[in-house]
């Protein structure tokens, strides 16, 4: 079960599932809340965008690896229980009238399973090795070849998993009409789609930092040290 539900739902005392049938307007009317206020907060969730101006290319690789863990891995870990519960709940309540939700639940579960294992492998094997490469470079030290032969091997696997997760999220986006809930969507339905969109936004930045910066630089660094 999720550790914490959306703060604004708790703040306004709105039934998390809107009874499974109520629209946002009906749920707000029951609590004498202006629906525009709640919808505005929903838009804030959907509009979560990266506005940082970090120059990631200038960071040491061990610092960048820690940044990815502390920001993107941490975000995914916190979002997964929420998406897990909502995907099941929304599909169960609304799947009869919106059968695409059954597929969305399936792909959401695939993303959850793959990313959970993916991040574990990065944090247990790949990232510690990248940190050793960065430290060896700073201290002008030599290193032995890793047990997996070359860093390109686990990186190739990580990139393939990125492609798989990205494809699943694209299918979810298509099935959800760009994360647009239908008119009869209850609060949990709308929050689910908003959270999926937020999740995809974070995933794009997450994969960009690894595929386009961390991984190519790590391959180059290993080649320089081992050769």
pLDDT at 5: 43
- The parent domain of residue 186 ranges over 8-226
Q: Please check whether residue 121 lies inside any domain of the structure.
A: yes
pTM of the model: 0.78
Q: State residue 3 phi and psi, 5-degree precision.
A: -80, -30
pLDDT at 8: 59
- Chain segment 165-188, per-residue pLDDT in tens: 999 999 999 999 999 999 989 999
DSSP structure class, residue 124: I
pLDDT at 53: 63
The answer to which of 4-8, 60-64, 121-125 has the lowest mean pLDDT is: 4-8
Q: Where are the alpha helices (DSSP H) in 31-183?
A: 35-46, 61-67, 74-94, 100-121, 127-138, 152-175
pLDDT surpassing 80 at residue 152: yes
pLDDT surpassing 70 at residue 48: no
Distance CA 214, CA 227 (A): 20
Domain count for the chain, please give it. Answer: 1
Q: Please check whether residue 180 lies inside any domain of the structure.
A: yes
- Chain segment 71-83, per-residue pLDDT in tens: 999 999 999 999 9
Q: What is the mean pLDDT of the chain?
A: 87
Query: Within 10 Å of residue 132's Cβ, how many Cβ atoms?
Result: 16
Q: Please check whether residue 3 lies inside any domain of the structure.
A: no
Distance CA 88, CA 92 (A): 6
- Chain segment 77-104, per-residue pLDDT in tens: 999 999 999 999 999 999 999 999 999 9
Q: Please check whether residue 120 lies inside any domain of the structure.
A: yes
pLDDT at 30: 75
Q: Please check whether residue 1 lies inside any domain of the structure.
A: no
pLDDT at 126: 97
Distance CA 189, CA 180 (A): 10
Q: Is residue 52 very low, low, confident or very high in pLDDT (cuts 50, 70, 90)?
A: low
pLDDT at 143: 85
Q: Please check whether residue 30 lies inside any domain of the structure.
A: yes
Residue among 187, 172, 201 nearest 42 (CA): 187
Task: Please state the separation of Cα 194 from the chain's center in Å.
Answer: 12
pLDDT at 12: 65
pLDDT surpassing 80 at residue 50: no
Distance CA 170, CA 165 (A): 9
105 or 138, which is more confident: 105
């Amino acid at each position: 079960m999720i550790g914490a539900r959306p703060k604004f739902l708790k703040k306004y005392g709105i039934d998390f599932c809107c009874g499974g049938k109520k629209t946002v307007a009906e749920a707000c009317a029951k609590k004498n809340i202006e629906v525009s206020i709640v919808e505005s907060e929903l838009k804030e969730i959907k509009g979560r965008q990266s506005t940082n101006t970090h120059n990631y290319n200038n960071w040491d690789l061990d610092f960048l690896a820690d940044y990815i863990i502390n920001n993107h891995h941490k975000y995914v870990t916190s979002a997964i229980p929420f998406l897990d519960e909502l995907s099941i709940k929304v599909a169960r309540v609304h799947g009869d009238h919106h059968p695409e939700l059954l597929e969305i639940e399936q792909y959401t579960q695939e993303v959850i399973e793959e990313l959970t294992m993916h991040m574990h492998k990065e944090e247990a094997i790949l990232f510690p090795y990248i940190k050793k490469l960065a430290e060896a470079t700073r201290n002008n030290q030599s290193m032995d070849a890793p047990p997996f032969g070359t860093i390109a091997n686990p990186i190739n696997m990580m990139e393939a998993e990125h492609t798989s997760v990205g494809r699943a999220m694209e299918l979810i986006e298509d099935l959800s009409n760009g994360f647009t809930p239908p008119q009869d969507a209850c609060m949990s339905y709308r929050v689910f789609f908003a959270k999926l969109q937020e999740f995809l936004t974070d995933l794009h930045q997450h994969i960009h930092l690894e595929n386009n910066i961390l991984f190519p630089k790590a391959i180059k660094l290993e080649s320089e040290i081992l050769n």
